[in-house]
A = this chain, B = another copy of it.
Amino acid sequence: MTKPAWERFKSLYWANKELGMGLDISRMNFPESFFMEKAKMIADAVSAMQALEAGEIANPDENRMVGHYWLRAADMAPKAELKSAIVDTFANIKAFAADIRSGKIKGQGGTFQDVLHIGIGGSALGPQFIHDALGKTDKLRLHFVDNTDPDGIAKVIADIPDLSRTLCVVVSKSGGTKETRNGQLLAKKALTDAGVDYTKAFVAVTGVGSALDKTATEEGWLARFPMWDWVGGRTSLWSAVGVLPAALEGVDVDALLAGAAAMDRVTRNANAQENPALLMALMWYIAAAEGKAMVVLPYKDRLMFLSRYLQQLIMESLGKERDLDGKVVNQGLVVYGNKGSTDQHAYVQQLREGPNNFFTLFINSEEDICEGGDKSYGSFEVEDGVTSGDFLLGFLYGTRKALYDNGRQSITMSVPTVSAKSVGAMLALFERAVGFYATFTHINAYHQPGVEAGKKAAGEILKLQARVVAALSSDTKQTVEEIAKKTGSEGEEEVIFAILEHLAANGRAKTEFADNVAERRYSI
Tell me whether A378 is interfacial, beta carbon within 8 Å: yes
A454 engages B399 (CB within 8 Å): yes
Q: Taking the nearest CB of chain B, how far is it from the CB of A335, in angstroms?
A: 8
A414-457 interface (Cβ within 8 A of B)? 414, 416-418, 448-451, 453-457
Tell me whether A89 is interfacial, beta carbon within 8 Å: no
B389 engages A517 (CB within 8 Å): no
The stretch that binds B, out of A63-71, A212-220, A312-320, is A312-320
Q: Taking the nearest CB of chain B, how far is it from the CB of A483, in angstroms?
A: 13
A354 engages B393 (CB within 8 Å): no
Distance of A461 Cα from B390 Cα, bound (Å): 9
Partner among B122, B341, B365, B454 whose Cβ is within 8 Å of the Cβ of A344: B454
Q: Taking the nearest CB of chain B, how far is it from the CB of A184, in angstroms?
A: 9
Tell me whether A391 is interfacial, beta carbon within 8 Å: yes
Tell me whether A487 is interfacial, beta carbon within 8 Å: no
Known pairs A5-B494, A369-B154, A385-B466; A517 contacts B13 (CB<8 A) = yes
Partner among B151, B159, B378, B461 whose Cβ is within 8 Å of the Cβ of A398: B461
Tell me whether A15 is interfacial, beta carbon within 8 Å: yes
A457 engages B291 (CB within 8 Å): no
Distance of A12 Cα from B382 Cα, bound (Å): 56
Tell me whether A34 is interfacial, beta carbon within 8 Å: no
Tell me whether A146 is interfacial, beta carbon within 8 Å: yes
The stretch that binds B, out of A255-263, A277-285, A293-301, is A293-301
Distance of A71 Cα from B394 Cα, bound (Å): 36
List of B residues within 8 angstroms of A29 by Cβ: none
Known pairs A291-B291, A319-B353, A330-B356; A456 contacts B389 (CB<8 A) = no
Q: Taking the nearest CB of chain B, how far is it from the CB of A463, in angstroms?
A: 9
Tell me whether A348 is interfacial, beta carbon within 8 Å: yes
Q: Taking the nearest CB of chain B, how far is it from the CB of A334, in angstroms?
A: 7
Known pairs A455-B398, A457-B401, A459-B394; A151 contacts B368 (CB<8 A) = yes
A441-487 interface (Cβ within 8 A of B)? 448-451, 453-462, 465-466, 469
A378 engages B291 (CB within 8 Å): no
B458 engages A394 (CB within 8 Å): yes
1/0 per position for A477-519, CB-CB distance to B under 8 A? 0000000000000010111001101101110000001011110
A207-250 interface (Cβ within 8 A of B)? 233
Distance of A344 Cα from B319 Cα, bound (Å): 13
A454 engages B377 (CB within 8 Å): no
B389 engages A149 (CB within 8 Å): yes
Known pairs A151-B368, A373-B154, A382-B182; A315 contacts B390 (CB<8 A) = no
List of B residues within 8 angstroms of A199 by Cβ: none
A469 engages B398 (CB within 8 Å): no
Q: Taking the nearest CB of chain B, how far is it from the CB of A171, in angstroms?
A: 12
1/0 per position for A68-109, CB-CB distance to B under 8 A? 000000000000000000000000000000000000000000
Distance of A446 Cα from B148 Cα, bound (Å): 38
Partner among B356, B390, B498 whose Cβ is within 8 Å of the Cβ of A393: B498
Q: Taking the nearest CB of chain B, how far is it from the CB of A458, in angstroms?
A: 3
B505 engages A450 (CB within 8 Å): no
B319 engages A458 (CB within 8 Å): no
Known pairs A300-B151, A451-B345, A491-B6; A354 contacts B315 (CB<8 A) = yes
List of B residues within 8 angstroms of A357 by Cβ: 291, 334
With A154-B374, A344-B455 already in contact, 17 other A-B pairs whose C-beta atoms are closer than 8 Å: A5-B491, A5-B494, A120-B341, A151-B300, A177-B345, A185-B388, A193-B376, A233-B345, A316-B347, A318-B350, A321-B353, A321-B406, A330-B355, A334-B336, A335-B347, A397-B461, A398-B455
Q: Can you give 28 contacting A-B residue pairs, CB < 8 Å?
A: A6-B491, A9-B493, A121-B345, A137-B159, A147-B301, A148-B388, A148-B391, A150-B380, A151-B418, A179-B341, A186-B388, A315-B349, A316-B349, A318-B350, A319-B350, A321-B406, A334-B334, A344-B451, A349-B449, A353-B450, A386-B466, A395-B454, A395-B458, A397-B457, A397-B458, A397-B461, A399-B457, A416-B505
